[in-house]
A and B are shown apart, each in its own frame.
Chain A
Amino acid sequence: MNFTFSDEQEELRRTIRRFLEDKSPSAEVRRLMETDEGYEPAVWKQMAQELGLQGLAIPEEYGGQGFSFVETGIVLEEMGRVLLCAPFLSSVCAGANAILNAGSERDKENLLPGIASGEKIATLALGEPGGAWDADAITLRAQRSDDAWTLDGTKSYVLDGHIADLIVVAARLEGTAGTNGVGLFVVDGDADGLTRTLLETIDKTRKQARLEFSGVRAAPLGQPGAAWPALSKTLDQIAVCLSAEMTGGATRCLDMAVEYAKERVQFGRPIGSFQAIKHKCADILLRVESAKTAAYYAMWAAADDNEELPVVASLAKAYCAEAFFFAATENIQVHGGIGFTWEHDSHLYFKRAKSSELLFGDPTYHRSLLADRIGI
Chain B
Amino acid sequence: MNVVVLVKQIPDPANPYELVDGRLKRGVAQKVMDPGDEYGVEAALRLVDQFGGEVNVISMGPAAAMEAIRRALSMGAHKGVLVTDDALGGADALATARVLAAAIKRSEFDLVIAGVESTDGSTGVVPQMVAELLGVPQSTFAKEIEAKDSSLTIKRQTAAGYDMVECPLPAVITVTAGVNEPRYPTFKGIMQAKSKPVDTVSLGDLGLGGDDAKPTQSVDAVNPAPERGAGEKFEDDGTGAAKVADLLKQLKVI
Contacts and interface: CB of A to CB of B under 8 A. Distances in A.
Contact of B187 (A19, A46, A65): A65
B233 interface: no
A15 B190 contact: yes
B186 A8 contact: no
B190 A11 contact: yes
Nearest to A10: B190
B185 interface: yes
A71 interface: yes
A52 B190 CA distance: 12
B184 A71 contact: no
Interface in B176-196: 183-188, 190-191, 194
Contacts of B71: 11
A232 B201 CA distance: 56
A12 B184 contact: no
Contacts of B139: none
Contacts of B74: 11
Interface string A47-79: 000111000100000000101000100000000
Contacts of B190: 8, 11-12, 15
A65 B185 CA distance: 13
B172 to A, nearest CB: 28
A46 to B, nearest CB: 8
A65 B184 contact: no
A18 interface: yes
Contact of A67 (B70, B183, B184, B187): B187
Contact of B185 (A15, A67, A71): A15
B186 A50 contact: yes
Interface residues of B, number: 12
B31 to A, nearest CB: 11
Dominant SS among interface residues on chain B: helix
A71 B191 CA distance: 12
B191 A8 contact: yes
Contact of A50 (B70, B184, B191, B194): B184
Contacts of B185: 11, 15, 51
Interface residues of A, number: 14
Contact of A12 (B183, B187, B194): B187
Contacts of A8: 187, 190-191, 194
Contacts of B191: 8
A212 B187 CA distance: 39
A71 B183 contact: no
A18 B184 contact: yes
Interface in B216-244: none
Interface in A2-60: 8, 11-12, 15, 18-19, 46, 50-52, 56
Contacts of A52: 186-188
Nearest to A56: B187
B194 A19 contact: no
Q: Output the residue of B74, B185, B187, B191 with the most chain A CB within 10 A.
A: B187
A46 B183 CA distance: 9
Interface string B56-87: 00000000000000110010000000000000
A67 B191 CA distance: 11
Contact of B183 (A11, A18, A50, A56): A50
Contacts of B188: 52, 65
Nearest to A19: B184
Interface in A334-349: none
Contact of A65 (B70, B183, B186, B194): B186
A49 to B, nearest CB: 10
B70 to A, nearest CB: 8
B34 to A, nearest CB: 14
A70 to B, nearest CB: 11
A67 B183 CA distance: 20
Q: Output the residue of B71, B186, B191 with the most chain A CB within 10 A.
A: B186
Contacts of B187: 8, 12, 52, 56, 65, 67, 71
Nearest to B12: A14
A8 B188 CA distance: 9
Interface in A146-160: none
A52 B74 CA distance: 14
A175 to B, nearest CB: 47
**What 8 A-B pairs come out closest when comparing CB atoms?**
A52-B186, A8-B190, A11-B190, A12-B187, A51-B184, A19-B184, A65-B188, A8-B191
Given A11-B74, A46-B184, 17 more contacts: A8-B187, A8-B190, A8-B191, A11-B71, A11-B185, A12-B190, A15-B190, A18-B184, A50-B183, A50-B184, A50-B186, A51-B184, A51-B185, A51-B186, A65-B187, A65-B188, A71-B187
Interface of A: 8, 11-12, 15, 18-19, 46, 50-52, 56, 65, 67, 71
11 contacts: A8-B187, A8-B194, A15-B185, A15-B190, A18-B184, A19-B184, A50-B184, A51-B184, A52-B186, A65-B187, A67-B187
